[in-house]
Structure 1
Amino acid sequence: MWQGVIPAVTTKFNQDDTLDFKEMERCFRYLMDAGCDGLIACGSLGEGPLLSHAERIDVLKLTKEVTGNKPAILTVAEAATRDACALAEKAAKAGADGLMVVPSTIYHTNHRETVATLRSIAAAGDLPVMIYSNRLAYRVDVTTDMLEELADDARFVAVKESSDDIRRTTEIINRLGSRYDLFTGVDNLAFEALTAGATGWVAGLVVAFPHETVAIYRLIKAGRYNEALDIYRWFRPLLDLDVSTYLVQNIKLVEALAIDSNDRVRAPRLPLEGALRTRVEQVVSTSLANRPVLPAFN
């Protein structure tokens, strides 16, 4: 159902901390014009947990305006299942094409609770669902056993696999075949996951470098692995910025430097300063100075 490069977009703010819809539209259109296959709003990178439900729905509506006939997916990541279900219902009414669902964010659910939570949210929204499995960030591992248990509900269509264990990609395919659209969610494991059989990439650094991200994906799918690997090796220092406590600040600073956006974040986050900022600036500067010429691809 879903495949390709689907960016997890950043949420843009004005200086007074209100939503900057004009800048979001500019950035979102840049991604779609570069060949991305949909957008995911209000995830971890999109600072979703720091937005009200009303703000998230407003971002979703803009996202859908930009994606047109491609999927606009809203992230659901709530502490309480009832709040997650309420947001899922609002997303469906607002025209979302699907949901990306995090099982829990505060209480770390066990196997039975994780499955029950995911089923409840899927039923509330009655939309296609991408299950977000990220045991490092959220301390809840949606295991292959859980995916097999959930496979009886057709609303679960995809998995964003972010366990940081590349073996999991093969385990899911060996157990469940093509039952789920399998996305890699770790930027600096993307080449490895895509060549192991993942069908898509929920990407982060794509927001500043969409042409390179799309090129890697399409070249791999065309079997042009060496050309994709050359770009990926150039990209790796940037992709590493996604795997960090400061991923939001990192990537927003990259956007500011690479596409003339800004690095405003919502408190308690603050923009990077000192050595952290200097490091990102150096990575971006070096990468831009050595930016590869992309080969032609379809």
Structure 2
Amino acid sequence: MWQGVYPAVSAKFTEAGELDHQEMERCFARQIEAGVDGLIVNGSLGEGPMLSHDERLEVLSLAQGVAGRRPVLMTIADASTRDCASLASRAAKAGASGLMVVPSLVYHTNAKETVATLSAVAAAADLPVMIYSNRIAYRVDVTVEIMSELAADPRFVAIKESSDDIRRATDIINAFGDRYDVFTGVDNLAYEALAVGAVGWVAGLVIAFPEETVAIYRLMKAKRYDEALAIYRWFRPLLDLDVSSYLVQNLKLVEALVTGTTERVRAPRLPLEGEARARVEAIVREALATRPLLSKAA
């Protein structure tokens, strides 16, 4: 159902800490102009759990206004199943193309609870669902066995595979064929995942480098692996910044340095400073100095 590059777009804030609608529209439009295939709002990078439900719906509306006919997925991530289902229902009424659902943010659900939560959210919205499997950040592993239990429900159409085990993509494809659209959700495993059959990339560094991200994806789909690998190797130091407890601050700083946007985050997060900031700045300087020329054919 879904494939391609889906940026997990970042939220923008004014100096007063409110949503910066104009700047989000500008940044989202840059993604669309670069050729991404859809947008995902209010995820980890979008600081969704730090936003109220009303704010998350505002971000959804802004993205829909920019995306045109491209899908816009709403991330559902709250502490309780009740709140997740409530937001999912509101997102459906607001015209979301689908949902990306985190099984549990705070409480680490067991397999039975994970199935029950995901099923309740899917039923509340009656929209296509991308399951977000991230045992590293959220301590809940949506295993192949759990995916098997969910496979009877046609609303579950995709998996954002972020287990940090590249073998998992092959396990899913071996178990289900094309039943689920497999997306990689780990930036610095994207080449590897696409090489073994993933059909999509929920990307982070795309917010600063959309052209390069789209080029890698398109080259991989065209089986022009050497050309894709050359870009990917250049990109890797940046992509590694996505795999961090400070991924939001890391990527927002990169985006600000490259595109001139803001790096404001919502508390309790604070912008990077000191050695952490200097490290990111050095990586960006090197990347910009060695940025590859992209083939028009990509």
Q: TM-score range by the shorter chain?
A: over 0.9
Q: State the partner residue of 1:42.
A: 42
Q: State the partner residue of 2:204.
A: 204
Q: Which amino acid aligns with 1:93?
A: K
Q: State the partner residue of 1:277.
A: 277
Q: State the partner residue of 2:71.
A: 71
Matches within 5 A, 1:106-185: 106-185=106-185
Q: State the partner residue of 2:85.
A: 85
Matches within 5 A, 1:3-14: 3-14=3-14
Which digits, 9 at most, give the CA deviation of each residue in 1:175-219, with x for residues without a partner? 000001100000000000000000000000000000000000000
Q: State the partner residue of 2:287.
A: 287
Indicate the SS of the match to 2:136. helix
Give TM-score scaled by structure 2 length: 0.99
Q: Answer yes or no: is the 8 Å Cα contact 1:11–1:47 preserved in 2.
A: yes
Q: What displacement does 1:68 show?
A: 1.2
Q: Answer yes or no: is the 8 Å Cα contact 1:134–1:141 preserved in 2.
A: yes
What is the alpha-carbon root mean square deviation over aligned residues? 0.5
Q: Distance in 2 between matches of 1:85 and 1:71?
A: 21
- Structure 1 segments (4+ residues) deviating >4 Å: none
Indicate the SS of the match to 2:104. coil
Q: Answer yes or no: is the 8 Å Cα contact 1:133–1:163 preserved in 2.
A: yes
Q: Which amino acid aligns with 2:93?
A: K
Q: Which amino acid aligns with 1:71?
A: P
Indicate the SS of the match to 1:92. helix
The share of aligned pairs that are identical, in percent, is 68
Matches within 5 A, 1:209-220: 209-220=209-220
Q: Distance in 2 between matches of 1:138 and 1:200?
A: 21
Unaligned runs of 5+ in 1: none
Query: Which stretch has the larger CA shift, 200-209 or 60-69?
Result: 60-69
Q: Distance in 2 between matches of 1:72 and 1:78?
A: 19
Q: Which amino acid aligns with 2:241?
A: L
Q: Answer yes or no: is the 8 Å Cα contact 1:5–1:38 preserved in 2.
A: yes
Indicate the SS of the match to 1:136. coil
Q: Which amino acid aligns with 2:148?
A: E
Unaligned runs of 5+ in 2: none
Q: State the partner residue of 1:60.
A: 60
Which digits, 9 at most, give the CA deviation of each residue in 1:21-60, with x for residues without a partner? 1000000000000000000000000000000000000000
Q: What displacement does 1:296 show?
A: 2.1
Q: State the partner residue of 2:233.
A: 233
Q: Answer yes or no: is the 8 Å Cα contact 1:218–1:297 preserved in 2.
A: no
Which digits, 9 at most, give the CA deviation of each residue in 1:240-263, with x for residues without a partner? 000001000000000110011111
Which digits, 9 at most, give the CA deviation of each residue in 1:114-149, with x for residues without a partner? 000000000001100000000000000000111111
Matches within 5 A, 1:94-113: 94-113=94-113
Q: Distance in 1 between matches of 2:94 and 2:14?
A: 24
Q: Answer yes or no: is the 8 Å Cα contact 1:11–1:46 preserved in 2.
A: yes
Q: What displacement does 1:173 show?
A: 0.3
Indicate the SS of the match to 1:6. strand
Q: Distance in 2 between matches of 1:78 and 1:176?
A: 29
Q: Distance in 1 between matches of 2:203 and 2:256?
A: 18
Indicate the SS of the match to 2:137. helix
Indicate the SS of the match to 2:6. strand
Indicate the SS of the match to 1:74. strand
Q: What displacement does 1:297 show?
A: 2.2
Q: Distance in 2 between matches of 1:15 and 1:158?
A: 37
Q: Answer yes or no: is the 8 Å Cα contact 1:263–1:271 preserved in 2.
A: yes
Q: State the partner residue of 2:250.
A: 250
Q: Which amino acid aligns with 2:126?
A: D
Give TM-score scaled by structure 1 length: 0.99
Q: What displacement does 1:67 show?
A: 1.0
Q: Distance in 2 between matches of 1:146 and 1:69?
A: 32
